[in-house]
Amino acid sequence: MDFRLSEEQEALREVARDFLAARWPADKMRAALDAQPALVDDDVWKEIVEMGWLGVAAPEASGGIGGGVVTAAVLAEEAGRGILPGPFLSSLTAALAAESCGDDVLLGEIIEGRSRVALAVEEPGGSWGPDAVCLAATPCDEGWSLSGTKILVRDGQEADVLLVVARAPDGLALLKVPADVPGLARNRMLLMDGQSASELVLEDVRVGSDARLGGGEGGLLEAYEKATVLCAADLLGSAQASLELATEYAKERVQFGRPIGSFQAVSHRLADDLMKLEIGRSLLYGASLALDDRRENASALVSAAKAWLNEAAIAAVESALQIHGGVGFTWEYDVHLHMRRVRCNVACHGDADFHRDRVASHMDAALAAEGSGP
């Protein structure tokens, strides 16, 4: 029984935090809101790859660090805190997907930075997740023919390979699609936080039969759970940073002759935000560990973490904006950068009701198994 991060994990967190604070100033993110979507500079990206961050979860045998989802969540949290744009999280998400679906070659290429890979799940239609996938994978002479549309593919515009979730005759499938394949059109979708995403339109795109990853539907669903957990970790990082900004400001800002943090309307709001984030932190690492340990309630815990952090993070960034007053509402201040990122992540991989419905389905099964009776 030890539900604490290890010394190594805490050390990695510190390294990541210092590195991002030094190498990725928030001003670059601000600039991206008016110009091209933000991607980290090539030299920063190179260092991130060299530090092995993309292999943080993968087993050592596959060229990774062997930290599992828990350690990946630590880095995703720091990316959220540091307002780090792509392609770090999209690449880490793709690495976890390659691992879940047993493609060691692709995993190695991602970890070593030889290939930029983006996971394409969501489609038009207003919902989220593999269940809502319509994009068809039809068997053909070469292997597979793919037709359909993907949206909100993070860093899809810059990817060399797209990991496309499709519906094959025998169930959901994950297929590798080279970015330059005929029949694939990529259109940029600008995100409100300055990050890059794509719409992919596939019209009879042909890929070989070896393009389909293994692991079956189970591997694919696991990949989506991991993507969701990283998104939740990102939310926690932004929210925690916002809470800290607001708390520091409340200590310093004097009105009516007192620091505003001494007023209960302010301090109780921050105490509530802290409470929500501590619950969210507990759920996030509980869900990450459950994925690593392959517990049967892992998917319900993932949904719990995402549903909870969606709402807790919004509360924290809105408090930060409100407590900073007019200053917080300026372009130069960082609060809106966190708010934009949180607003994007909240709508990414399922909103709170989407995940509450998934938890309710889990309860249906769990309580039926328990046997009902008054």
Residue 87, interface with other proteins (CB under 8 A)? no
Residue selected from 87, 286, 328, 350 as contacting other proteins according to rule CB under 8 A: 286
Nearer to other proteins, 113 or 259 (CB): 259
Nearer to other proteins, 6 or 138 (CB): 6
Residue selected from 60, 142, 170, 357 as contacting other proteins according to rule CB under 8 A: 357
State the helix-helix crossing angle for 68-81 and 88-100, rounded to 10 degrees: 170
Query: Are residues 118 and 237 in contact, defined by beta-carbon separation less than 8 angstroms?
Result: no
Burial class (CB in 10 A: 0-12, 13-18, 19+), 352: middle
Angle at 46 between CA 42 and CA 48, to 5 degrees: 115
Site string for other proteins, 64-83 (x = CB under 8 A): ------x-------------
Residues binding other proteins: number (CB under 8 A): 52
Residue 141, interface with other proteins (CB under 8 A)? no
Residues 6+ apart with CB under 8 A from 314: 342, 343, 346
Residue 263, interface with other proteins (CB under 8 A)? yes
DSSP state string for 8-51: HHHHHHHHHHHHHHHH--HHHHHHHTTSSPBB--HHHHHHHHHT
Residue 283, interface with other proteins (CB under 8 A)? yes
Residue 272, interface with other proteins (CB under 8 A)? yes
Residue 251, interface with other proteins (CB under 8 A)? yes
**Cα(84)–Cα(26) distance, rounded to whole angstroms?**
8
Angle at 68 between CA 226 and CA 273, to 5 degrees: 60
Nearer to other proteins, 71 or 91 (CB): 71
- What is the helix (H) or strand (E) element at residue 287, kind and residue range? helix 264-292
Residue selected from 149, 247, 299, 319 as contacting other proteins according to rule CB under 8 A: 247
Smallest distance, other proteins to C-beta of residue 14, A: 16
With CA atoms as reference, report the closest residue to 282 among 224, 246, 234, 233.
233
Query: Are residues 128 and 349 in contact, defined by beta-carbon separation less than 8 angstroms?
Result: yes
Residue selected from 49, 89, 189, 300 as contacting other proteins according to rule CB under 8 A: 300
Residue 363, interface with other proteins (CB under 8 A)? yes
Nearer to other proteins, 307 or 346 (CB): 307
Nearer to other proteins, 162 or 323 (CB): 323
The residues binding other proteins (CB under 8 A) are 1-6, 70, 247, 250-251, 258-259, 261-264, 266-268, 270-272, 274-275, 278-283, 285-286, 289, 293, 300-301, 303-304, 307-308, 353, 356-357, 359-360, 362-363, 367, 370, 372-374
